[in-house]
Amino acid sequence: MDALKVLIARRAPAEVVHKLSAHFVVDYHDGAEPLSPDDLRARLQGKVGVYVTGTERITAELLATCPELKVVCTMSVGYNHIDLDACTARGVLVTNTPDVLTESTADFGFALLMATARRMSEGERLLRDGGWKSWAWDFLAGAEVHGSTLGILGMGRIGQAIARRGRFGFGMKVIYHNRSRLAAEAEAELGARYVAKDELLRQADHLVLVLPYSAQSHHCIAAPELALMKPTATLVNVARGGIVDEEALAAALREHRIAAAGLDVFEGEPRVNPVLLTLPNVVLTPHIASATLPTRQAMAHLAADNLLAALTGGMPPTPLNPQVLSA
């Protein structure tokens, strides 16, 4: 039997490329930039499986032009770049990489909260620019973190890991809102209280967004939501840029209707809304919340293990639409 053909659509660790090459005929895109949609379509012809990252969009239109494709494995926990329903309808298995990135992403979310609340980037910029001339009682005075109220919108695995850091590391009061409420034992273990979204916005001193991006969550933090927040509040987004209306956020930050924001994700990234770049009270990072080498390696191996299992008759470890396996 001829070896199966797969595409690795984005640069991956060498061991992962070797692992897949031992089983399949691998077409490897090792360029620094993502493939264009046209190049992705062309390179997918004749392939039964593909390893992608968050930058490759798998749409219904693309699937229609790739009838041989059976498995899409993304090296990401988020899968808003993949039309899951269209994949399921065509019997295409989709897998993602949950769990392995939870703790690193929560570490980063908390770091971004701290940097934002305590004005670290602003302080470093001022120092590097020679602006540190003297001391004043309120020089770069920020918001308190310990003992304050941590609000979490989206209480999945990463939200819960951030809640633990806040509750047990910093003695914070934790409130959250989520599509579904956690079980009473989980709430008790985290010391977290479920509240309505409006109450979350009103009460949080630091609001962290960790919900999945979808048509329902698009711009779910916009002018009306920002208007409910405290003028002293910090907003942190480590989920997806499209969750926040960036124009409304920029206006709220400029007019000090909220104190500060820490953003790791942007609508239309890697482009960043130019207004945000001009504001001192926002910490901007280039979508690196999961970026530790061990975590990125674990994500890449998990994506490859999913591809391997799916195409060699095994059980993929983390399928998103397992129903296609039994169909």
Max distance between CA atoms of the chain, in angstroms, equals 76
CB of 24 to ligand 8YV, least distance (A): 21
CB closer to ligand 8YV out of 149 and 295 = 295
The footprint of ligand 8YV on residues 249-288 (CB under 6 A) is 287
**76 belongs to the binding site for ligand 8YV (CB under 6 A):** yes
Q: Which residues are catalytic?
A: 240, 269, 287
Tokens representing 241 are 């840029």
Contact 249, 220 (CB under 8 A): no
Q: Under DSSP, is residue 50 helix (H, G, I), strand (E, B) or coil?
A: strand
Residue 73 C-alpha from the chain's centroid? 17
Nearer to ligand 8YV, 178 or 290 (CB): 290
Residue-wise DSSP of 121-135: HHHHHHHHTT-----
Q: Is 54 among the residues that bind ligand 8YV (CB under 6 A)?
A: yes
Select the residue interacting with ligand 8YV from 13, 21, 59, 78 (CB under 6 A). Answer: 78
User: Smallest Cα–Cα separation from 259: which of 219, 289, 229, 298?
Assistant: 229
**Is residue 290 involved in binding ligand 8YV (CB under 6 A)?**
yes
Q: How many CB atoms lie within 10 A of CB 2?
A: 5
Applying CB under 6 A, does 212 fall inside the site for ligand 8YV? Answer: no
Going by C-alpha positions, the residue among 311, 307, 322 that lies closest to residue 84 is: 322
Residue 304 interacting with ligand 8YV (CB under 6 A): no
Choosing from 6, 9, 82, 101, the residue that interacts with ligand 8YV (CB under 6 A) is: 101
Question: Rule CB under 6 A: is residue 77 a binding residue for ligand 8YV?
Answer: yes
Contact call for residues 207 and 151 (beta carbons, < 8 A): yes
* Residue 104 interacts with ligand 8YV (CB under 6 A): yes or no: no
- Give the interface segment with ligand 8YV, choosing from 12-20, 74-82, 191-199, 269-277 (CB under 6 A): 74-82
CB–CB of 238/109 below 8 Å?
yes
For tokens 């695995």, name the residue: 157
Q: 203 or 295: whose CB is closer to ligand 8YV? A: 295
List contacts with ligand 8YV (CB under 6 A).
53-54, 75-78, 101, 287, 290
